[in-house]
Structure 1
Amino acid sequence: MTNTKYNSSSSFHPALAIANIRNHISVTLGMDNDKYPMWVALFTNHAKATRVLNHLIPSKGKEIAPSPEDDKELWEILDAMVLQWIYATVNNELLKTIVEENSTAKECWHRIKNIFHDNQHSRAVMFKQ
């Protein structure tokens, strides 16, 4: 995967062309459903296609943050956009659980991941009883 540089003087960033994320990710993630694996697959694929996957998952050995040569303002705009995409593809119950002031897309992504990984462990324990 190529390293995405954020530079406002370069060409238009593809993520900025997305007017309605629900046209690309039609699954609504909720606390009580088993759509998490499908939602993750659709979301990460879309993030790859729009060159913002690094806002959710770091490249090998790299932290998720703008490098000195990146345009910090554009990076922050894109991160806020990815965060809004997350918020727009979850139901209200889950949204109340994951929204935090001044959060990054990566932090929110990990909160969701932790919720569903904890739920998988709980379900496994229930089935063994």
Structure 2
Amino acid sequence: MSGENQTNPTKAIHPVYTVTNIQTKVRVLDGTKVTYSSWVRLFKLHAKGYKVLSHIDGTASPAKTDPTYDTWSEIDAIVLQWIYGTISDDLLGQVLDPASTAYEAWSKLQNIFLNNKGSRAAALEHEFNNLTLRAMTSLEASLRATE
């Protein structure tokens, strides 16, 4: 054995790099089977567990001159892939942008779902008000129709 220093400190790997298939952890947001609010809760839980919540919560990115920027940018691209990989094709077409950050895509999705909240509530109220019990075979069927 030579007298050379053979210690090579290993750099700790960020947890984000250990995710191989995001869809096994966060279901695909389609607005029907998986609602926006459920998807957000699951995604945030996942992001917190993998230490990337700062990429979607509005925390400012480091400056491009900051030595950590390249690593931050790489991790942000992975979080952006997670977002793109867990939304329906229709939503993907609305938020896909090659120059986007994870936070920008997150904000676009939020605007899609929350900006329509008032009109969606009005449409549901109209649908509920026009619901007749004669159209339903039972009380249980009428309750399922309003969900």
**TM-score of the aligned structures, taking structure 1 as reference length:** 0.80
Partner of 1:126: 123
Contact 2:16 2:52 in 1 (8 A): yes
Describe the SS at the equivalent of 1:57.
Answer: coil
Output one character per residue of 1:34-92: Cα deviation in whole Å (capped at 9) or x when no partner: 6111100000000000000000003xxxx420267662111011000000000000111
Q: Distance in 1 between matches of 2:87 and 2:32?
A: 11
Partner of 2:13: 12
Provide runs of 4+ in structure 1 moved above 4 Å. Answer: 31-34, 67-70
Determine what percentage of the aligned residue pairs are the same residue: 35
- Bigger drift between 90-99 and 30-39 goes to 30-39
> Aligned pairs, how many?
116
**Structure 1 gaps, min length 5:** 1-8
Output one character per residue of 1:79-112: Cα deviation in whole Å (capped at 9) or x when no partner: 0000000000011111000101210000000000
Q: How does 1:1-129 map to 2 (within 5 A)?
A: 10-25=11-26, 27-31=27-31, 35-58=35-58, 63-66=59-62, 71-129=68-126
| AA at the equivalent of 2:120 | R
Greater RCO, CA 8 A, separation 6+ = 1
**TM-score of the aligned structures, taking structure 2 as reference length:** 0.71
Q: Distance in 1 between matches of 2:118 and 2:50?
A: 33
Contact 1:31 1:94 in 2 (8 A): no
Contact 1:56 1:105 in 2 (8 A): yes
| AA at the equivalent of 1:42 | L
Tell me the C-alpha RMSD between the 2 structures: 2.0
**Structure 2 gaps, min length 5:** 1-9, 127-147
